[in-house]
Amino acid sequence: MTDAEKRRIVRECKEFFGKGPRIVYQPGNDGCGEHAMVALFKETLDDNKSRFFMVKRALEELWDDDIRNEIAHLTTLEHVEHVVNILAVKDTERRTRQSERKTVLPMRGPFIILEYLENGTLEKLMIKTANAKDFTFPNRFLMSVFLCLMFGDMHTLCIGVLTGSGGVENDGAAATAAEATPAAATPYWKHDEAPMLKAIDFGSAQYGGPISGDEDEDEDGGGGGGSTADFLVWYNMTHKLAEFPALPGDTNTGIDANILAIGKIMVELIARKRLENLDVCRRNISDKANFCPQLDPELWSLIARCLASDPAQRPRLTELQDKLYFDLSNKDAKFYRPNEQWETPDALREFRQKFISKKLP
């Protein structure tokens, strides 16, 4: 698809959603990747409040099923704090006749209307925290980031900060509208009270390029990046990767490189800077005592396993999801003694206010 065709799709989306006086297109916030596009709109609500929402659709009919799959995934994860909620969905048949393509008609094909959380990207967070003294990322925040990046290729996601004592906050609002009208979908979202960090992927993620295999991944697909055999043997032994064999019939089909890249992003986030290659990431995460002494040991192991050179030894998506959800719901500040000062509700609130919160004008 050419750039001109992508611009046409964005224009069509603006024309469809920007007709009413209550809904205003927000220029400069479009995201357009290889398969999908996202546009930002602002809606005025009845109670004189306003909210932003995102509209996501496939660029071509060829990728419509990707959007349908995304709708299914997001519906399954509905009301999970760390996932942007669906406000509305609509799915109609595509226009097929050339004469219809030249006519301004209601937008066809599947599309999703998602809530928008107006905060910064991971890249900006790294910049903000790079020079902070006596600083460490809260473990529960890192778990939230990890959970979101797992779905980075499929979803528009956010990273929530826990405010309770060992429990995941629940919005408790219904978001099951079938009509493609944001005003009819849900009440004003509680997220305005608990700012969050978004990690949006539009085919080319806002953090460090697309979530895919590292640029120096070697020919066998293992992501060794030119690693020597001795180094990889040492890494495997350090993290006891042989204890995590692949489960039959339970594979990350087609996304093993993404798991590798997510591990790299997590290490770089902890380091608060971009790292040269995969082996630098592996060396850093292996030196837990100096690199990340306060990192949850189980989280440390998950990240290290994501960087395994053998894709079969990387964790499965189901394992990651189950483990992260469980830990976020059950580990409170007391779990991290004697370093609980980074994990208390007050510490999380201060972290959020200092490094994350960023309102749109």
Tokens of 323: 């483990």
Q: Identify the pLDDT of residue 252.
A: 58
190 & 247 share domain: no
338 preceded by a cis bond (ω within 30 of 0): yes
189 with 316, same domain: the answer is no
Residue 287: pLDDT above 90? yes
Looking at the fold, whether 28 and 143 belong to one and the same domain comes out as: yes
Q: Which of 9-18, 70-79, 84-93, 238-247 has the highest mean pLDDT?
A: 238-247
Comparing CA positions, the residue from 87, 149, 137, 142 lying closest to residue 112 is 87
122 and 45 in one domain? Answer: yes
In this structure, the answer to whether residues 165 and 288 fall within a common structural domain is no
27-31, 132-136, 237-241, 272-276: least confident range: 27-31
Q: Do 181 and 242 have their domain in common? A: no
Question: What residue type is 70 in one-letter code?
Answer: E
Identify whether residues 180 and 35 lie together within a single domain. Answer: yes
pLDDT in tens, 157-199: 333 333 222 222 222 222 222 222 333 233 233 333 333 333 3
Q: Does 336 reside within a domain?
A: no
- CB distance 156 to 114 below 8 Å: yes
355 is a domain residue: no
Whether 44 maps to a domain, the answer reads yes
Say what the pLDDT of residue 205 is. Answer: 33
Mean of the pLDDT values across residues 202-213?
35
Is 46 in the same domain as 179? yes
User: Above 90 in pLDDT, residue 151?
Assistant: no
Please check whether residues 14 and 127 belong to one and the same domain: yes
CB neighbour list of residue 282: distance below 8 Å, 6 or more residues apart:
227, 231, 235, 304, 307
In this structure, are 147 and 260 located in the same domain?
Answer: no
- Supply the DSSP string of 201-223, one letter for each residue: -SSS-TTTS-SSS-TT--TTSS-
Residue 9, both tokens: 């799709």
CB of 48 within 8 A of CB of 41? Answer: no
Closest CA to 96 of 68, 64, 57, 56: 64
The predicted-structure confidence for 255-268, as pLDDT tens digits, reads as follows 667 788 888 989 99
In-domain check, residue 343: no
Query: Is residue 23, in this structure, part of any structural domain at all?
Result: yes
State both tokens at 47: 């109670």
In a domain, 348, yes or no: no
Q: 155: closest CA among 224, 43, 54? A: 54
- How far apart, in whole angstroms, are the C-alpha atoms of residue 137 and residue 343? 9
CA triplet 213, 125, 191: central angle to 5 degrees?
A: 105
Q: Which domain holds residue 87?
A: 3-200
Q: How many CB atoms lie within 10 A of CB 326?
A: 11
For 36-67, how does the pLDDT look when each residue is reduced to its tens digit (9 = 90+)?
A: 778 888 888 877 788 788 888 888 888 888 88
Q: What is the C-alpha separation between 127 and 138, in angstroms, rounded?
A: 17
Dump pLDDT digits (tens) for 297-332. Answer: 999 999 999 999 888 888 887 788 888 888 888 888
pLDDT confidence of residue 357: 62
pLDDT at 118: 57
Q: What share of the chain is helix, strand, coil (3-state, %, to 5)?
A: 40, 10, 45
Comparing CA positions, the residue from 9, 12, 74, 22 lying closest to residue 182 is 22
Residues for the chain: how many in total?
Answer: 361
**pLDDT category of residue 281 using cuts at 50, 70 and 90:** very high
Q: Could you tell me what percent of the chain has a pLDDT over 90?
A: 10
Backbone phi, psi, residue 336, to 5°: -100, 15
How far is it, in rounded angstroms, from Cα 148 to Cα 121?
13
Residue 279 lies in a domain: yes
99 with 185, same domain: the answer is yes
Mean pLDDT of 345-352: 82
What is the pTM (predicted TM-score) of this model?
0.57
CB 119 within 8 A of CB 198: yes
CA distance 25 to 199: 21
pLDDT mean over 85-106: 60
Q: Is a pLDDT exceeding 60 seen at residue 1? A: yes
- Domain with residue 46: its CATH number is 3.30.200.20
Q: Please check whether residues 159 and 279 belong to one and the same domain.
A: no
Total domains in the chain come to 2
**Distance between CA atoms of residues 259 and 343, nearest Å:** 26
Q: Which residue has the tokens 């009509």?
A: 179
Do residues 210 and 152 make contact, with C-beta atoms less than 8 angstroms apart? no
Q: How far apart are the first and last CA of the chain?
A: 33
* 9 pLDDT tier (thresholds 50, 70, 90): confident
Q: Is residue 350 part of a domain?
A: no
